[in-house]
Amino acid sequence: MRLDVVTIFPEYLEPLNVSLVGKARVRGQLNVHVHDLRAWTYDRHNTVDDTPYGGGPGMVMKTDPWGDALDSVLADGYETGSHTPVLVVPTPSGRPFTQELAVELSERPWLIFTPARYEGIDRRVIDEYATRMPVYEVSIGDYVLAGGEAAVLVVTEAVARLLPGVLGNAESHRDDSFAPGAMANLLEGPVYTKPPEWRGRGIPDVLLSGHHGKIARWRRDQALMRTTLHRPDLIERCDPKAFDKKDREMLSILGWAPDPEGEPHSRFWRRPEGVEE
């Protein structure tokens, strides 16, 4: 996979040399090019921004540096044999970046990222390239960063670990908390390793029992507990067919029940306080 990042802070992308993504680059699984947007400015101050039409606070990134940068990245990519690029535009007003989208992007051969600073990029740039290639405007969460570079790192890491051969164990992402198509997207529960005792704290007995069935059940119960606590929306979204008898028992203990209005296959919801089964 080829990745291009155009940014006014190329050094912000240094982490792409480290760990999983760094190793994937060394192995030739990822071909990363980071470009300084200011290389496509021609004035003394290397200006990349200007005041917004219509007024308002902040500055907007100008069309020309982006247009020239993207044209040159595209030309270079095509010349060196890359094809069917997609543009990934990190922005807090984009669609939420999810595991499903990570999988979709991991199937593309060439991603071009345009992390912006200030109030964003002049809209005409995105509209122009959208006539030539798919454009994904993505947000990594409901908060506003000072720029899109951190989002590029997030998206790249989520995508790179899905590329064939990048993670050691081909099975390892099948069980990811947010693997698309999973019957139930549950958060993973706690994990432990040696030593068996640390500062007076032991390991849950079941994990030492060697009883695979009981261990699997315990892990599932922990996942249900954690998910109801931190992400009740995921339980509500689950297809109820994803819950077996033991799941239902656990959910009931945690105060969840099928919606009585929606029988027979209704989703689970949190029982109102004081309402017994």
Contact pattern from residue 35 through residue 74 relative to ligand ADE, giving x for each residue in contact according to CB under 6 A and a dash for the rest: ----------------------------------------
Beta strands in 97-147 (DSSP E): 110-113, 135-139
Q: Could you give the maximum distance between any two Cα atoms of the chain, in Å?
A: 73
Nearer to ligand ADE, 77 or 90 (CB): 90
What H or E segment, with its residue span, contains residue 63?
helix 63-79
CB atoms closer than 10 angstroms to residue 14:
12
Q: Supply 239's token pair.
A: 């297809």
154 annotated ligand binder: no
Among 65, 77, 85, 148, binds ligand ADE (CB under 6 A): 148
The helix/strand count (H/E) of the chain reads as 9, 9
Q: Which of 41, 139, 185, 227 binds ligand ADE (CB under 6 A)?
A: 139
Active site residue 161: yes
Specify which residues 212 forms β-bridges with: none
Give the shortest CB-88-to-ligand ADE separation in angstroms. 10
Which pair of structure tokens corresponds to residue 95?
């669609």
Which listed residue (10, 137, 176, 232) is catalytic?
176
The 10 Å Cβ neighbour count of residue 188 is 13
Residue 90 touching ligand ADE (CB under 6 A): yes
Quick one: which of 13, 61, 105, 151 contacts ligand ADE (CB under 6 A)?
151
Q: Which stretch binds ligand ADE (CB under 6 A): 135-143, 162-170, 197-205, 240-248?
A: 135-143
Catalytic residues: 92, 119, 161, 176
